[in-house]
Structure 1
Amino acid sequence: MVGLSMVLAGLPAQAAAPEAAPKPVSLDPLATMPRIDAPIALMLDVGSGRVLYARDPHRRFVPASITKIMTSYVAFDLISKGKLRLDQRIPIRPETFRKWRNVGSTMFLPAEAQPTVAELIEGIVTVSANDACVVLAEGATGSVPAFTALMNAAAAELGMRDSHFNTPNGWMDEGETYVTAADLATLSGALMTRFPDLYRRFYGHSQMTWNGITQPNHNPLYGHTEGADGVKTGFTNEAGYGFVGSAQRHGRRLVMVLGGYDRPIDRTNQSRAFIEWGFAAWDAKALYRRGANVGTAVVQGGEAREVALVAPHDLSLTMPKGTTSNYTLSVRYKGPLKAPIRKGETVASLLVRVPGEAVHVLPLVAGSDVPRGGVLARLRNGALGLVGL
């Protein structure tokens, strides 16, 4: 294990003695916590990885249309790898049209339509189109089972240990599709930070018009909450009313998960109050901006002997508003790293240690590709290693 450590924080400044003792002010964020009736609730500050509030975050529940966050994640991944094109047209299979015509939320895809991948993703993300999910899955991978296999592989790669996907649209399947709030927060954070350009392109739209039909997005934050740009609502009689919401202000992003409401009005009002509490009761101290060089790691068997470790997104430390704290930062990775290494691949961790708190672990990625070295490169690196260079 190789590590690099540095102390960056200082002590808080000494304040002058007040003339009169002020009234005590509670610095406990829970003192201003709004009422949340949802049986499942979670709020995460994506930049720091800190959980600001959690209620039963590892309880499995049926996600309904919230499933479509993973559907878009897999689509974005395929697009980023060149395996799917946004302008690619996908014909609708006759059996798919018959099964999903006007079933639940829909794009109202005609039988003869050949929508583009971009149009299907817009329908999935903005109007929760069940038909678009199946058409996209079949067009991208040949079948729904092949697509859900990618969904589950992505879940495993992200560490979503308590989630399973049996459908790309979240339609009722006797509980075979299930998630947890913790896993949904992990997924949503990855969606935003790994595919920021695609996320900005497709999320955050208050309505969609396609084939002459305009439909609204039912995200309760849109039009009411500053910086709101995602992510997905869900409802079935089995699951109740759920919501994964996100907003970004001044470079700081919060993600919340709420599950199991009986009434949509409660989901609407309480989600708006919840996200405002997250911004008002907590402060974030910037550590590194996206793309900043945090350190280097030793590489074995590559054309280069080391690789830069960079922040994949803005990294920060989150604390209750009005508090200050000393902290230390260190970089940890299993070293030396073995080539080949892909630019953007997660290869190390930034550890943030605050007295009295659990260690905060943030990802660091490779700043460049490091291909496997040829014979001459390996001989050169071996010789330099022998003399301590």
Structure 2
Amino acid sequence: MRFVNVCLSALLVVVLAVPARAFETSARAAFVMDVATGTVLLNKNGDTPLPPASMSKLMTLYVAFDAIREGRLSLDERLPVSRHAMSYGGSTMFLDTTDRVRVEDLLRGIVVLSGNDACAVIAEALSPDGTEAGFARHMTQRAQALGMTNSVFKNSNGWPAEGHVMSMRDLALLSRHIIEDFPEFYQMFAEREFSFDGRAPANIHNRNPLLGLGIGADGLKTGHTQAAGYGLVGSAVQDGQRIIFAISGLDSAAQRARESEAIVNWAFRQFTRKTVLREGEVVARAPVWMGEAGEVGLAPAQDIETLLPVLDSKRLAAEVVYTGPIRAPVAKGNPLAELVLTPEGLPETRVQLVATEAVAQGGFVTRLRMVAGQLLGRLREVPEGAS
């Protein structure tokens, strides 16, 4: 392997000589990420499977959004309510078996009202075997396909059940998929109230405590059970920068509100996105074996942005890593190396580097020169007196 140190400190903006510190949260588990760069800003027990309570409703919503896009479900379609769906307590839409409810109303009932019964109606409609349990198994399979390796579902709504778990990282990953894959539905998560048929005047308000605070919050879902404590998976955007966070295990709704607002403010105040390299800007040059030219430039194929602590004066450590020497011929744009960026206090970021020009394979003279150079190099390595 070849490693080339690269100094990018001149590209950074230095504000104060104070390093960013990790946010200290009272949550049992917490995970915070920057969406554009994928940088993990905070990870406290983020991969621990925990009871997610109603935050697991996001997986039901993801499957429903996907079914609508594929044409297997429509917003105007009316779905029947089974006795099983009607039997749920807790937060509900107060549905009964005489109802046939529009899918769009059910979705809003899940997003805004956290309706356990609405989840069960959707689940039974989309389940491979018509049961909520069958839908839960399908949810688990879909979650695995999305890379959510610490999620297992036993129902559609997060009702307490043995083995029904998600990690905070999985919740953040799922939220990112919802935001990026289904922008046409994501606006529902910012709705602050929804009144369904005048049935539950006490349950018309979105429980997300961040909506309306003016900090850019626009989703996603709260959760609470005795086993899970109080949790929230949320997202906010300021000046084009979006963060997603998931927290769980807090003692009260008030504590959940304080911690959530503090996390959002911390993430936007302590970190900023910077463009550290432009598309085509040569980072380093790598030797080429048996080429008409002896080296090739390495550059990113697109602008490189990374997240940096605002108050950190230390250099952004960078290395170019590749297996060398690179053999000719080399085509312009060929991926040849990785640029490894390590901001102070944050995980490393790896970016692909490509050849900035083509290098043709050398002819006979080039090959002769390369072989001769190797032989001379070996002769110089022979110690005096050796035979």
TM superposition score normalised by structure 1: 0.70
**Per-residue deviation at 1:121?**
0.8
- Which of 79, 87, 90 is the equivalent residue of 1:90? 79
**Corresponding residue number in structure 2 for 1:108:** 94
1:246 aligns with 2:235: yes
In 1, distance between residues paired with 2:348 and 2:11? 25
CA pair 29-95 structure 1, distance change in 2 beyond 3 A: closer
- Asked whether the equivalents of residues 9 and 316 of structure 2 are also in contact (C-alpha less than 8 Å), the reply is yes
For 1:72, give the aligned amino acid. Answer: L
2:150 is matched with 162
Say whether 1:255 aligns with 2:244.
Answer: yes
Q: Verify the 8 A CA contact 1:12 1:325 in the aligned structure 2.
A: no
In the alignment, the residues of structure 1 paired with residue 249 and residue 221 of structure 2 have an alpha-carbon distance, to the nearest angstrom, of 14
Q: Does 1:135 align with 2:127?
A: no
| 2:173 counterpart of 1:186 | yes
Cα deviation 1:254-280 (Å, max 9, x = unaligned):
111111112221111111111110000
Q: Which residue of 2 aligns with 1:123?
A: 109
- Answer whether contact 1:188 1:255 (CA < 8 A) is retained: yes
Q: 1:327 to 1:203 in 2, by over 3 A?
A: farther
Change in Cα spacing, 1:14 to 1:359, as seen in structure 2 (3 Å) is closer
CA distance change for structure 1 residues 362 and 135 in 2, over 3 Å: closer, same or farther? farther
- Would the alpha carbon gap of residues 13 and 87 (structure 1) be closer, same or farther in structure 2, given more than 3 Å must change? closer
Question: Aligned equivalents of 1:352 and 1:225: distance in 2?
Answer: 38
Alignment check: 8 A CA contact 2:53 2:224 kept: yes
Corresponding residue number in structure 2 for 1:207:
193
Sequence identity, in percent?
A: 33
Residue 355 and residue 177 in structure 1: after superposition, are their counterparts in 2 closer, same or farther (change >3 A)?
Answer: closer
The 1:255/1:361 distance shift into structure 2, 3 A limit, reads farther
1:92, 1:109 → 2: CA distance? Answer: 7
> After the TM superposition, which residues 258-277 of structure 1 pair with which residues of structure 2 at under 5 Å, given as runs?
258-277=247-266
Tell me how far apart the structure 2 counterparts of residues 61 and 240 of structure 1 sit (CA, whole Å). Answer: 10
Q: Is contact 2:39–2:347 with CA below 8 Å preserved after alignment?
A: no
Q: Deviations over 1:197-229 (max 9, x none)?
A: 2212x2111111110244111111112242111
1:195 paired to 2:193:
no
Quote the offset at 1:54 in angstroms: 1.3
Q: Secondary structure of the residue that 1:176 maps to in structure 2?
A: coil
CA drift at 1:38: 1.1
1:231-264 residue CA offsets vs partner (Å, 9 max, x unmatched) = 1111111111111111111221111111111222
The whole-number CA distance in structure 2 between the counterparts of 1:186 and 1:242 is 16
Q: Is the 8 A contact 2:193 2:206 kept in 1?
A: yes
CA gap of 1:82–1:27, structure 2 versus 1, over 3 A, is: same
Residues 168-189 of structure 1 deviation map (CA, whole Å, 9 limit, x = unaligned): 010011x221011111111111
Which runs of structure 2 are paired with 1:284-363 in the superposition (5 Å)?
284-285=273-274, 316-322=305-311, 325=316, 353-355=340-342, 358-360=347-349
Residue number among 133, 140, 154 corresponding to 1:152 in the alignment? 140
Give me the whole-angstrom Cα distance separating, in 2, the residues matched to 1:145 and 1:14: 53
Distance 2:318 2:181 in 1: 27
- 1:27 matches 2:19: yes
For residues 91 and 221 of structure 1, do their structure 2 counterparts lie closer, same or farther at Cα, with a shift above 3 Å needed? same
Aligned length: 303
Question: Is the 1:47–1:315 contact (alpha carbons within 8 Å) kept by the matching residues of 2?
Answer: no
- CA displacement at 1:40 relative to structure 2: 0.9
Q: Is the 8 A contact 2:12 2:276 kept in 1?
A: no
Aligned mates of 2:92, 2:351 — CA distance in 1? 38
Unpaired segments of 5 or more residues in structure 2? 1-5, 280-300, 322-334, 353-387
Which residue number in structure 1 is paired with residue 10 of structure 2? Answer: 12
2:170 matches 1:177: no
Residues 65 and 170, structure 1, Cα contact 8 Å, conserved in 2:
yes
The 3-state SS of whatever aligns with 1:203 is helix
SS in 2 for 1:90: strand
Confirm or deny that 1:48 pairs with 2:37: yes
Alignment of 1:359-374 (within 5 A): 359-360=348-349
Quick one: distance in 1 between partners of 2:339 and 2:61? 31
Q: CA RMSD in A?
A: 3.4
> Cα 1:265–1:96, aligned 2, differ >3 Å: closer, same or farther?
closer
